[in-house]
Amino acid sequence: MEELRYIEFDNYLNNELVGEELTSFEKRLQSDADFKQEFEIYKSLNSSLSSKFENEKDEQALRQTLNDLGSKYIKTTKKETKVIPLFNYKKLLVAASIALLIGFFVFKNGNPVYSDFSNHNNLDIVARGDSNNTKSKAEKAFNSKNYIEALKQLTTLSNEHPNDVEIQLYKGISLLELNKYSEADAIFEKISTGSSAFTTKATWYKALNYLKQKKFEDCKRVLKTIPEAAEEYEMAQKLLGEL
């Protein structure tokens, strides 16, 4: 789980998202079923849990609980440590608490979910001095999680550069985020059986495609084919351990 996601949910509910951030958030609500589900759970829990902070005793108890569980659920480093104003700290406590509750809801059947493993690398295809406007639009859209626009731009690029495997891969990821499973799988399958540098990356996403559809046996089957030397091996083993 990503704690910052719940801060973003809170900002949206309090009308604190504006401009491109607001547009990107609302588009993701429309295109990402898992993201929308987490948001709806957050929204339903938010008001009742927030009211608890009116009682100082309840707040202190919750702080202690979060401190006890912090090392397991909220990973921080010395480099990341910063002073948080009291108001924002309370918001963070609410978000973190709801994050825990959502975790209990989501994992109550013992199975992991796609959103816990869908941490995509940023798209970076614009070379220095490159004036290709479509590439710039594709990068901006994908990296801001606007997958509808990203798919549009990446489809144009894939037609212009049919042998560019990286463009094909990110087109597949955009399709997966938009729940177009068959189209995404066709791309991942082609790349995973090829000889490019993206072979195991495509295999990993083929597994995530099954995970998002809750096809757990198929997901495990694909994960077991990821070699130990691959960058994705550690995450594949973690996911296998949760399935």
pLDDT tens across the length of the chain (243 residues): 455 677 788 788 888 888 888 998 888 888 887 788 778 777 766 655 555 445 545 555 555 554 554 444 444 444 444 443 444 555 555 555 555 555 555 444 557 888 888 889 999 887 655 657 899 899 999 999 999 999 999 999 999 999 999 999 999 999 999 999 999 999 999 999 999 999 999 999 999 999 999 999 999 999 999 999 999 999 999 999 888
Domains of the chain: 3-108 (no CATH), 115-242 (1.25.40.10)
The pLDDT of residue 86: 42
The pLDDT of residue 69: 46
CB 198 within 8 A of CB 166: yes
Q: Is 188 exposed, middle or buried (0-12, 13-18, 19+ CB in 10 A)?
A: buried
Identify the three-state secondary structure at position 127.
coil
The pLDDT of residue 28: 87
pTM of the model: 0.58
CB 29 within 8 A of CB 118: no
Q: List Cβ neighbours of 134 (8 Å cut-off, separation of 6 or more).
A: 153, 156, 157, 160
The pLDDT of residue 68: 53
The pLDDT of residue 21: 86
* DSSP letter (8 states) at residue 209: H
The beta-carbon contacts of 214-223 under 8 Å, at least 24 apart in sequence, are 214/111, 216/111, 216/243, 219/243
The pLDDT of residue 102: 54
CB 169 within 8 A of CB 202: yes
The pLDDT of residue 58: 53
Q: How far is CA 105 from CA 25, 33, 95, 207, in A?
A: 23, 16, 15, 23
Structure token digits, residue 149:
């626009």
The pLDDT of residue 176: 96
